[in-house]
Structure 1
Amino acid sequence: MKNSIYQKLFSDYSFNNNNLKNRMVLAPMTRSRANEDGVPTDMMSLYYQQRASAGLEITEATQISLQGQGYANTPGIYNQDQVNAWKKVTNSVHEKGGEIFVQLWHVGRVGSEKVNGLQPLAPSALKANKTSVYVFEGDNRDATFVDVDHPKEMSQDEIDATILDFRKAARNAIEAGFDGVEIHGANGYLIDQFLRSNANKRSDKYGGSKENRARFLLEVTQAVVNEIGADKVGVRLSPFIMFKDMDDPEILDTIMYAVPYLDRMGITYLHLCEADWDDAPQVSDQFRIDLRKEFHQTIIVTGNMTPEKAENLLEKDWIDLVGFGRKFISNPDYPQRVLHNAPLQEITDTHTLFGGRDERGYTDYPSLY
């Protein structure tokens, strides 16, 4: 029997010139199943196809350049081999009637030469304390965590080149068949580093005031909009997340300064990544009300969401779509299970969350529907 208590969650939604079948989003989750050259594998095509009952899928973070890579075996979208492999993924999702965006990523200072052979680049030459990335070592392919390296402060030429990399990656994404792109401006990575006063100590036009610290985000977004159109561009931000040494008392003001500019660009959505641990800071009702006033397109939230909480936020019209993460890992048909009030599977092996040689913990969780 269908569960009738989630009327909003399972209502249609017009998005990106298409009608989504529900308001549930597969949130981006790093799974590290690409090969060593960042080329998506056939397993990844099956993985995303299995989860195409989501209204929208957003891929795992996908580096826009080799320089932008921070973890082993994460996919890229900066060369033709990667684009061709992503075509298999998008085709598999579209065959099931799904819609899929790719998340464009540059890790900034969250990187190590042990991953890509390059010194990380960042707004300022400040190492992130208590921050690590992983490589795969040994026959068991367990993730081995290593400290991030001390980054180099980006020159203007490097900033310009990185903006161009985002633009080229967006163009590649459309060639690969994606319905759009999400610019990753959250969770302590490069764009977020520019936004935060504790990570950005620059004295040029990209540092100091909130207006300057927001400049890189806005320039990247405008470049991507110019390349593929605003209706195919989303932006992800995380005003309430402080890990990766990113505790900045000014971040909320900086983001709320940037939001009206993003709104005027006409981007198709703003995706808020909210904290998902037990004692996480709570997002106030007033923030959600204020955000809705400033941003008039689609708002997505992800982070410790339940169907009940999602339904409540949708009913209040503070958000439009809701991202779910780990529940989709072990329940590829998660929307249908929620709709039919069916039992949920738990993750059986946490060792397979980040990497693995075969389908175990990745594509072997069964569907009911």
Structure 2
Amino acid sequence: MTIRKLEGEQSKLFQPLIISNGKITLQHRVVHAPMTRNRGVPANATSTPENPNRIWYPGDLMVEYYRQRATPGGLIISEGIPPSLESNGMPGVPGLWTDDQAAGWKRVVDAVHEQGGYIFAQLWHAGRATVPQMTGSPAVSASATVWDSPTECFSHPPVGSTEPVRYADHPPIELTVPHIKQTIQDYCQAAKTAMEIGFDGVELHGGNGYLPEQFLSSNINKRTDDYGGSPQKRCTFVLELVDELAKAVGQENLSIRLSPFGLFNQARGEQRLETWSFLCESLKQTFPNLSYVSFIEPRYEQIFSYEEKDNFLRSWNLLNVDLTAFRKIFGDTPFFSAGGWDQANSWGVLEEGRYDALLYGRYFTSNPDLVQRLKKSIPFTPYERSRFYGPFDDNKLCYIDYPPAEAQ
């Protein structure tokens, strides 16, 4: 049967969708993807090499950014929010473990709600993808696995320096079991705080080579205890974490983002289908009422071209892989897809039943009215890649200064 590719406001993108086990009805399916932008306000304005700032909170710019992109009945997923100082992976990223941070995020939430929108807090733990100069303590991970590339560096030089810091010079420490339990509690406290200040739900960042995926990846997780040694045991940390988060905030307020075929942050593990299939089957069986699940497309990669990614997939004998198997596992759980959606390739996807909603990231940076542009077939404003990640001397530039189409 041929599926008509209806475009613009006739598309299924602009039909309602129920998430959160019936608690929330979205008015459209254009979802703002989680995007780190590094525009937080430093708690210590006089950061020095001797006393570097390590805590940021949302300020006026972030409130305005989210307000501009909120729509009636639309869903925004926040940028990754570290639940603890140890978990922070970049400067300028506001966490959720201090009162000032909570107050700042409440302002963001209130701004989105004033526009009639919904917003989920994405909780993000960098794991080994950070350095002691950033957090003041050693990076942590599933195992003390040294970064594969001896030359790959942390994204930002330390305060007062222009020299980048190599990950390989600062290998992570292996999380002990008590440390794992404390890390899970850090997540849960941040999740509770998120709900208390008005977030509509919590998304666990389980992809992109960050801490949960470090446990899932066989090239990083070298443990031989209950948290490693087989595809099933490598899933233990994520399943325990989701279990505790569900107890803390309720399944219907919880979601998870996964990248089963991702390579970011040197996640190069084998047994992709075995590991993530077991994980997803366990999630669906144990937590059937999750708000939604979010997946990154197999061929989408932040660090490689489509051709380069295909070479990796071919090496795993997965060249023709897609997300169909995971969609089938989750059944009636709302299923979101992220990874390169634009004005050309979005049409007909939802009508085919492949997914229930699409996430848009980069084009949302330069199009605060992206929902309206998709709906009315108005061309997108090109994004400026060099301004994705701050902090900058002028954080406003290419952040909150893009006009909507009606003002151009």
Alpha-carbon shift at residue 302 of structure 1 (Å): 0.5
Cα distance in 1 for partners of 2:247, 2:190 equals 13
Check if 1:18 corresponds to 2:24: yes
Q: Alpha-carbon deviation of 1:351?
A: 3.8
Q: Please tell me the root mean square deviation across aligned C-alpha atoms, in Å.
A: 2.3
Residue in 1 aligned with 2:257? 236
Quote the Cα distance in structure 1 between the aligned partners of 2:320 and 2:351.
13
Residue segments in structure 1 that go unaligned for 5+ positions in a row? none
User: Out of 58, 64, 67, which is 2:83 matched to?
Assistant: 64
Query: Quick check: 2:67–2:115 contact (8 Å CA) kept in 1?
Result: yes
TM-score (norm: length of structure 1): 0.93
Contact 1:108 1:189 in 2 (8 A): yes
Deviates more, 1:160-169 or 1:347-356: 347-356
User: Any conservation in 1 of the 2:31–2:358 contact (CA below 8 Å)?
Assistant: yes
Deviation at 1:261, TM superposition (A): 1.8
Partner deviation per Cα, 1:315-337 (whole Å, 9 max, x = no partner): 12121111111100000111101
Identify which range, 76-85 or 302-311, moves more after superposition: 302-311
Give the Cα–Cα distance (whole angstroms) in 1 for the partners of residues 133 and 69 of structure 2.
33
Residues 3-36 of structure 1 deviation map (CA, whole Å, 9 limit, x = unaligned): 6475111111112212212111111111001123
2:68 matched to which residue of 1? 50
Give yes or no for the alignment of 1:9 onto 2:32.
Answer: no
Number of the residue aligned with 1:33: 39
Native 8 Å contact 2:89 2:134 kept in 1: yes
Offset of residue 284 of structure 1: 7.7
Within the candidate set 327, 330, 343, 2:366 is matched to: 330
Amino acid at match of 1:241: G
Is there any run of 5+ residues in structure 2 with no aligned partner, and where?
1-5, 43-54
Deviations 1:326-367 (A, max 9, x none): 100000111101111112211246145332233111101111
- Counterpart CA distance in 2 for 1:176 and 1:221 is 21
1:211 to 213, 224, 232: 232
| Distance verdict in 2 for CA 1:315–1:221, change over 3 Å | same
Moved over 6 A (4+): 136-139, 282-286
- Structure 2 residue 298 is the aligned partner of structure 1 residue 261: no
Match of 2:120 in 1: 101
Q: Does 1:350 align with 2:356?
A: no
- Residue 198 of structure 1 corresponds to 219
The corresponding residue for 2:3 is none
Q: Do the aligned residues in 1 keep the contact of 2:218 with 2:268 (CA within 8 Å)?
A: no
Distance 2:86 2:30 in 1: 33
CA contact (8 A) 1:110 1:128 kept: no
Q: Which residue of 2 aligns with 1:273?
A: 296
- Report how many aligned residue pairs link the two structures: 366
Aligned residue for 2:87, secondary structure, equals coil
How much identity, in percent, do the aligned residues show? Answer: 34
User: What CA distance in whole angstroms lies between the structure 2 residues aligned with 1:237 and 1:284?
Assistant: 19
Structure showing greater radius of gyration is 2
Asked if 1:185 is matched to 2:206, the reply is yes
State the match for 1:290 in structure 2: 325
8 Å CA contact 1:194–1:213 kept in 2: the answer is yes
Contact 1:28 1:59 in 2 (8 A): yes
User: Normalization by structure 2: what TM-score?
Assistant: 0.84
302-311 or 43-52: bigger deviation: 302-311
Q: How many Å apart are 1:293 and its aligned residue?
A: 2.0
How far the C-alpha of 1:251 sits from its partner, in A, is 2.4
Separation in 1, partners of 2:147, 2:95: 23
